[in-house]
Every structure is written in structure tokens, then in C-alpha cells.
Structure 1
């Protein structure tokens, strides 16, 4: 099977150390247009293909329109990168190389319709021991072909990517004002179906009087569907962000509170408890339609 143009363009961006934003700016097109080229949603028009080829040729002497017909190894060689017997350079998301990106893109294409939604997370409130806090979130397919995720409280919103792979969903997100970064991995209940509730583990920056790193169990509940109207969905999401994040006492379902209140560590081993914080499949409360 011939390699699609999208994969070849992604390879060229990697070799030339170009971001999608830089390419879009230099070609005078919107960044979303380049995103659609790389995701395979569309191919460049003849005019844009000519401009793109000329642009690459300025950085790789001798590059012509015919070089786009080459397979990745030959294409890399045409750009001055020899990859005999080895893999082509890793694809990237604006500079972040991921060796499993092809599998993630395939899984995203298969599951995007089921995973796009409004959601609410529940986690222990670090600043209020014994209480729980909700983050409000939205998952939506981005023009680049990956799932964009935003979640937070009020004006503190983390933005990043939700990456489906095998039986988990991995979230990587940052908060632009504080520079904080969070990671979360959820049990996704297999490879198909529409999740109603997911459980997992959250890792991020610890705030307050004892800054550092903190990990906690987390539960994600689907609370609504996207309308397809981007402006209406944005307005609804901002309304969700304005809600009081602190969960009222007694408001959580018993199974959610139990999942978020588990003990672990040396004192728990003798009673059959966990040595480390984890969310094993056999105790998962993930539910999928």
C-alpha cells in the first residue's frame, strides 16, 4: 500500500525541523489548513502543492514535485537523510516526538465519535482534606486529527491531548499561566463503546504550603454531548467552568467516593491493601455503553 501524502508531509516537517504553525505562516495559509493536510483530512490544492514544493526546495536543493511520489525512506534520502535498513524519523506534534503516534492516530480516528463530549472529573481536594473537587472538561477532535482536551476550574484551565491506545486513555495537558503540567491515565473499558464513567490516576504539581508533585485517584463522568456548533459548545463549556468546584458533602455516588478514598502504602499491605496507588482493571468502575 502506498504511503499517504499526510505521512510524507509529517516526515518532511520532522526532517526540516518545521512546526505546522511555521509552515502555515510561511505559506500564508491558516494553521488549521496545514493540520488538515497532516491529518489526511484533505490534500493540498494544486496551487498549494506547488507553493509547498517550492518551499521545501528552498531548504533541500533539487527537491521537485515528483519527490512526493517517493516512499518515506527514499523521500528522506532526497532530503539528505539516510535511513538504510532503519525506521524513518519519528513524526511529531509541534515538536513532540511520539513513537506510537501512528497507532494513536488510528485509534483516534476509530473512537473520536465516541470520545468527544463534555465531562466532569472528581478527585480528592488537596487543599481541603476529606472533601472532593470537580473539574469541568471538553474533548473535541482537533484539525490535526488528535483529540483536544481542556479541563479546569474557573480561569484555571489545562489544555492538551487525549491519546487513546489499547485499553487506556492518556491525557497530557498544561496550564499556560502557571506553567503547570498534568498527566492522567484512565481505564478505557476496552477498544470500543461510548464511555460513561472512567477511573484512573492523576499526576501533577502540588500547590499550597507544600509545593511539589502529587498523585491522586480520579474519576471522569460524561455529562453531555457536543452540539456540533462550536460557538454554542464554547459558551456551554465556559458556563460549566463557572460552577462551584467543591463537591457538596454526601453528593458523590458511594462507588465513586469509595474509589477515590482508597488507602495504600506499607500500613495497608497486611490487610490486603495496595502498596502503590493504582487503578487495576478488576476494581475499575469504568462503564461503557
Structure 2
């Protein structure tokens, strides 16, 4: 939570503290507890952005932890206590028990979605070009953590599995731009290709922009969080536009059939036309 508040990546914290990023991953996963010396160094880095923060905050009640991070008392429920209904979850609550429903669905069939993917969609800033991103879906706190990125891009968030569809919300590392995705139902025993829509702000005017998307499974994740993160970071080391230009024919064909863009000459407004079920068939 502290890293998200000060907009610092685990890799940046590792560089600042002087430890390998794999060590940071083990700390964040709870597999290893930082020593008192390292907690002090971590607190010092957080205090650069949040003066008054100290290592004592890690042992303080949640309300105090939120206060020293300038979140304000009671404004954000940092963690709901574990109960018979499910494990504790970091973040805001959703009404109508949506999180518990997503947790139950994840427990039942989340394994069908966990994995490394290539994400393809029409560029928001370069009309007519396909973009490719690396994406990872992995289990976290009884839900599905979502990450995607490439050179110059890094997004993180959550995917709620409901009615065999993924409702994905992510935020961008640098500017907190939000991205939203909704997929069609997946396949068993694992989702091989997921289609859907994604929406976010375009770079120039920051206006809402929508595109069809295709998620192509690349490989499964491992049972080790540090290994998965390292694999994902290695997998996103590429130019998204160059990789998009070489998208497989089947993927490009799918993107073209899912949606068509029509430019209105007199207004310059781009209209989105979703094909009918007959056209999709």
C-alpha cells in the first residue's frame, strides 16, 4: 500500500535500499520478513515522499498507518479482517457482495485464467496500428492480480472473475491513468484466447477511447511469486508497436471483425460499430 501511495515500483525500492528486486518480491509476498535494519531503510525511502513516516508505522494499527501516509483516518479500508466468508482483501469494498462472489468464482475456476498472455488491441494514439503488450494474471488474496506493460508502459490492477468473464481495472504507473477491460467467457481447461473490449484515455486529448482486444495465452505461471514477476518483467521488454505490427493473422482478423471504425468527415468524430451476432458467427 505504501509503495502504491508514493508511486514507487518494487524494483525502484530495491535499488534504493540496495537489495535485489527478487528479495523485494519475497518481502511483498510475505514469504520473507525484512530485518529491522531493512525496515528502517524502507521507511526512510517512504519518508522522502511522506515526511513523518517511520519504521514504527509497520507495527501500528491500520488507522495510524493510513494517517501517516496521508490517506486520512477511515477514508480507505486497508484490509478487511479474514472471516469464514474468505481471506482478507486489500482495497475498497464493492457493494452487493461482488468481491465475495468473485472470490468464490476464482476459487472454483480461477486456474483456467492464470498465466502469461500477449495482449493485442488497436492503438489509441496511432490509428490503424495494432499494439502488443505483455500481460500476467496471477492469484493474489483470493482474487486475480493483473499486470500488463511493455517498454514505456506499466499497468497494475485486479481482475474480478464473475459469470466466467473477467472485469479488469488497472492504473498506469506514471500518471494514474485508468484502464478497464471486459472479456468474453473463457474456455476450459484453460483460457487459450480471450476476446473483449478495453477502454482508457488516449494520450493527446485524454478522452475515453475504446478498442477490441485479444488475449493470447503464452504460457502458464509457476507456483513462485518471485519467479512469476521476474518472468513478466522479462516478457515485457519489447517495443509494443513493432510487436503489434507482427501480430498473427488470426489475431488481426479477430480485431478487424470485432469492431470497425468509421470517420465522420464533417465532425471528425470516430464512431464505433460493433458487429451483430450474425456477423460474428
Tell me whether the two structures share a fold, i.e. TM-score over 0.5: yes
Q: 1:117-196, aligned counterparts within 5 Å?
A: 117-142=115-140, 144-189=141-186, 192-196=188-192
**Deviations 1:10-38, CA, capped at 9 Å, x for gaps:** xxxxxxxxxxxx998427xxxxxx67835
- Aligned match of 1:224: 219
Report the alpha carbon displacement of residue 154 of structure 1 after superposing the two structures with TM: 2.5
* Structure 1 unmatched ranges of 5 or more: 1-21, 28-33, 44-91, 268-274
Q: How many residues align?
A: 202
CA distance in 2, matches of 1:238, 1:141: 17
CA distance in 1, matches of 2:156, 2:195: 20
Distance 1:249 1:97, change over 3 A: closer
Distance 1:206 1:226, change over 3 A: same
CA contact (8 A) 1:146 1:163 kept: yes
Distance 1:168 1:249, change over 3 A: closer
CA distance in 2, matches of 1:223, 1:111: 19
Report the alpha carbon displacement of residue 235 of structure 1 after superposing the two structures with TM: 1.3
Report the alpha carbon displacement of residue 95 of structure 1 after superposing the two structures with TM: 2.3
Classify the secondary structure of the residue corresponding to 2:232.
helix
CA distance in 1, matches of 2:163, 2:173: 30
Report the alpha carbon displacement of residue 173 of structure 1 after superposing the two structures with TM: 0.9
CA distance in 1, matches of 2:115, 2:99: 22
Q: Normalising by structure 1, what TM-score?
A: 0.59
- Aligned match of 2:234: 239
CA distance in 1, matches of 2:216, 2:255: 14
- Structure showing greater Rg: 1
Report the alpha carbon displacement of residue 136 of structure 1 after superposing the two structures with TM: 0.7
Distance 1:266 1:156, change over 3 A: closer
Q: Which moved more, 1:245-254 or 1:222-231?
A: 245-254
CA distance in 1, matches of 2:186, 2:116: 18
Distance 1:240 1:250, change over 3 A: closer
CA contact (8 A) 1:174 1:182 kept: yes
CA contact (8 A) 1:138 1:150 kept: yes
Report the alpha carbon displacement of residue 230 of structure 1 after superposing the two structures with TM: 1.9
CA distance in 2, matches of 1:228, 1:198: 23
CA distance in 2, matches of 1:184, 1:221: 15
CA contact (8 A) 1:140 1:148 kept: yes
Distance 1:112 1:36, change over 3 A: farther
CA distance in 1, matches of 2:149, 2:113: 18
- Aligned match of 2:202: 206
Q: Normalising by structure 2, what TM-score?
A: 0.61
Superposed CA RMSD: 3.5
